[in-house]
Amino acid sequence: MSPRILGDFDLLPEGLIPEGALDLRLSAADLGSHWARCALLSDTVGRYVSFAFREQPHPDAGLVFNTVSTVFQELIENAAKFSRRRDAWVDVRLRHYGRVLMLEVANTSSAASMERFAPKAEALFEAEDLEELFIDTLVANADFTTRSGIGLLLLLKDHPVKLGIRLGEDPEGRPQVTTRAFVYLDDLA
């Protein structure tokens, strides 16, 4: 299966040298069993990033923390939700390129989950009006209390991020979803 790229996945060149980097490999089963760890990790990543801006000119390191924590939490929760196998891993890459931060979360998924997710992701990136898509999605999913389908949509609608998704396979041939969020720190105000 050749990978499908949606949105701004390849916004930065792959070989660009980061000023800061953090890689984590997490057990999806662990995150799913201990849901609060998603929030703990998100806050840790937010603090890790915002600490770099205490010395640099940025009007509000707290805003950097809140944005990064919120964006990362959505990505990590999605990965944990859709990686139910006990041997599934969630791989996290954080790259800090001066005033741009890349948060990447990759998880293996079932083929059925990926097939259900693909049209929703495509609709997200094809939408001309995110507010209208938000309302339509809420109405369409009003009867489903466990799956609102608005998480990534809210990131794009309410936060200054660029988002991209790659639907492909991991090295063992299992379906893999990789989501990248790019936060432009100068856009936080």
pLDDT reported for residue 74: 92
4-187 CATH, one of 3.40.50.880, 1.10.3720.10, 3.30.565.10, 3.10.20.90: 3.30.565.10
Rounded alpha-carbon distances, angstroms, from residue 134 to 64, 97, 154: 25, 31, 8
Structure tokens at 116: 């259900």
Structure tokens at 45: 């990543």
One DSSP character per residue, 120-169 reads HHHHHHH-S-HHHHHHHHHHHTTT-SS----HHHHHHHHSSEEEEEEEEE
**According to the model, what pLDDT value does residue 106 have?**
96
Tell me the per-residue pLDDT of 12-42, one tens digit each, with 9 for 90 and over: 998 999 999 999 999 988 888 888 999 999 9
d(CA 181, CA 96) in angstroms, rounded, equals: 12
For residue range 57-112, what is the model confidence (pLDDT) as tens digits? 555 678 888 999 999 999 999 888 887 677 788 999 999 998 899 999 999 988 88
Between CA 117 and CA 119 the distance in angstroms is: 6
Domain boundaries, the chain: 4-187
Q: What is the mean pLDDT of residues 121-135?
A: 86
Count the neighbouring beta carbons within 10 Å of the beta carbon of residue 19.
11
